[in-house]
Amino acid sequence: MAVCRAGGLLPEIIRTFFFSMKILSFCVLIVSLTSCSYERMMFKAQSAKAKASPLEQVTLHEMIERYMAKDQSSIGTIEGIYSVSSVVTKKGKAVFSAREKERITDRKENYSKVAIIRDHSEAGREYIEIVIDKDHQSSYPVYGEFSTMAESNLLLYKHFDSKARSTSFTFTYDKSKDVLEGIRTDNSNNRTITYKLTYVKISPKVPALQSSTR
């Protein structure tokens, strides 16, 4: 009697198993389609946003073309990938006081990752700056331009905000540490506001042996 019951239950178990596998396969298919649709939706949204932006846009293909057109190594130049930090300080006299005080009003550590790429276009600049810490990008806006000053360690940097309005910084480059530091000052109402940007190179890094022989 127990054998008959076991024989009757086996087909039911097999049917249940295959039905569960069908349900699982269907769920996997739905998840895959949803993921693909989400990626396509994000790509279209980023494309529309890029077209509406007043900033110059650079595609991945154009970035590769710029990189391949180089006639020298990135080592020892400002070209590379950087982590960016910023500090804003305000200096001035307090009310009813003759003493000047300086305080930090804003600080952001490693808030962005950018690529500085040598530019071979006819735009009259040496390097362009592109923010690369966002996913699903159809193109990348140019947020900055670097130009070196003849016979000096200084660089002129023009930064663009989201509305393509520009501000200028003066930068120095420490080759031994692969660090860029920029300063801009504004004077208003007997107060001096200083904006400091620090770019720490992530890649490519100078080999340890080469760095020690500088």
Shared domain check, 70 and 29: no
The residue out of 52, 67, 88 marking a domain boundary is 52
Shared domain check, 39 and 120: no
Long-range contacts from 42-48, C-beta under 8 angstroms, 24+ separation: 42/135, 42/136, 43/136, 43/138, 45/136, 46/136, 46/137, 46/138, 46/139, 47/138, 47/139
Shared domain check, 93 and 9: no
Shared domain check, 38 and 65: no
The residue out of 25, 52, 79 marking a domain boundary is 52
DSSP string of 16-42?
A: HHHHHHHHHHHHHHHHHHHHHHHHHHH
Shared domain check, 66 and 44: no
Shared domain check, 191 and 116: yes
Instruction: Give Cα 39 to chain centroid, integer Å.
Output: 20
pLDDT at 30: 54
Shared domain check, 208 and 159: yes
Does the global pTM surpass 0.75? no
pLDDT at 213: 52
What are the CA-CA distances from residue 113 to residues 80, 116, 132, 198 (Å)? Answer: 11, 10, 6, 12
What are the CA-CA distances from residue 42 to residues 31, 56, 59, 140, 173 (Å)? Answer: 16, 20, 16, 15, 37
Shared domain check, 76 and 2: no
Question: Mean pLDDT for each 10-residue chunk of the chain (214 residues)?
Answer: 50 61 57 49 49 67 59 73 95 76 94 89 85 75 89 89 91 92 90 95 70 51
CB atoms within 10 A of CB 54: 11
**Cβ-proximal residues to 177 (8 Å cutoff; 6+ apart), any chain:** none
pLDDT at 176: 87
Shared domain check, 190 and 125: yes
Shared domain check, 100 and 116: yes
Six-digit token pair at 198? 């620090």
Shared domain check, 67 and 23: no
CB atoms within 10 A of CB 179: 14
Shared domain check, 178 and 87: yes
The residue out of 9, 34, 52 marking a domain boundary is 52
**Cis amide leading into 141 (omega within 30):** no
pLDDT at 204: 80
Tell me which residue range forms the domain holding 167. Answer: 57-212
Our count of domains for the chain comes to 2
Q: Give me the residue label for tokens 């910023």.
A: 86
CA distance 121 to 141: 16
